[in-house]
Amino acid sequence: MSAPILTDVATELTPPVLPAPPLPIRTERLVLRAVVPDDSAAIGAYCADPEVTRYLPFPALDADGLARRMERLVAGTAPSAPEEMLALAVEHEGVLVGDLMLRLTDRHGPADPPAIAELGWVFAPEYAGRGFATEAARALVDLAFTHYPLHRLMARLDPRNVTSARLCERLGMRHEAHTRQDFPERDGTWSDTAVYGLLRPEWAAAF
């Protein structure tokens, strides 16, 4: 009798490594590309503004905070596993006007690629009102569903951030939840969280 064939369970459960997305992405007015160290001055300018970071999970950035954020953004080029992210700089006519984030979160099973991801964005206030955030975020949504095997996209934000809530709605995302006093503020208080979501079939129907 031949010896039984032993399988490497650990190998069988190893999820696939996803390829880096094709960049840059060009829309009607914008270029979405990888973040590079030379973007530090532009990103630092708007992330040092307390009004810009008022509803973000980080405070207005000093030099040390900017260095830490730039390290994460520059490294965010080819996410493949939960908690890894894709970071994109947004340019208009060669000028950096904001940045976007796509963070992978959850798998369906231990050997599956991530099926859920979270969106985030920050834009320089001097470029507000021109539709750049909507145009860029819509391109990222399309990339998320075409390049990654995602089932769901979500965004979590402070309900007082009306501008971002309206952007979620323009992207076709649904307001799914409002959780009370679940986010610790920097001043020791608690704030609420609004959850918006978009499923692959909903995106496909509007694509």
pLDDT in tens, 26-49: 999 999 999 999 999 999 999 999
Cα separation, 90 vs 79, whole angstroms:
19
The answer to the question of residue 15 being in a domain is no
Torsion sign, CA atoms 139, 78, 70, 37: negative
Order of strands, sheet of 114-123, starting from the edge strand that comes earlier in the sequence: 25-26, 30-34, 85-92, 95-107, 114-123, 152-157, 190-199, 174-184
Q: What is the mean pLDDT of residues 76-99?
A: 97
Domain residue limits at 167: 22-206
pLDDT at 15: 82
Cα separation, 107 vs 2, whole angstroms:
38
77: domain CATH number is: 3.40.630.30
Is 50 exceeded by the pLDDT of residue 104?
yes
The answer to the question of residue 11 being in a domain is no
Is 60 exceeded by the pLDDT of residue 3?
no
The answer to the question of residue 176 being in a domain is yes
Q: How confident is the model at residue 113 (pLDDT cuts 50, 70, 90)?
A: confident
Is 90 exceeded by the pLDDT of residue 61?
yes
Buried-state track 132-169, b at ≥16 Cβ within 10 A, e below 16: bbebbbbbbbebbbeebebebbbbbbbbeeeebbebbe
- pTM: predicted TM-score of the whole model, two decimal places: 0.90
Could you give the count of Cα atoms lying within 13 Å of 152 in the half-sphere of its Cβ?
12
pLDDT at 146: 96
Q: Which two tokens stand for residue 6?
A: 């032993």
The answer to the question of residue 198 being in a domain is yes
Is 50 exceeded by the pLDDT of residue 10?
no
Tens-digit pLDDT profile for residues 16-28: 899 999 999 999 9
pLDDT at 9: 47
pLDDT at 118: 98
Is 90 exceeded by the pLDDT of residue 110?
no
Question: Which are the contacts of 53, defined by CB distance < 8 A and separation ≥ 6?
Answer: 47, 59, 60, 61, 122
The answer to the question of residue 96 being in a domain is yes
Q: What is the mean pLDDT of residues 117-122?
A: 98
Q: How many domains does the chain have?
A: 1
Question: Which are the contacts of 85, defined by CB distance < 8 A and separation ≥ 6?
Answer: 72, 76, 79, 101, 102, 103, 104
The answer to the question of residue 9 being in a domain is no
Is 80 exceeded by the pLDDT of residue 11?
no
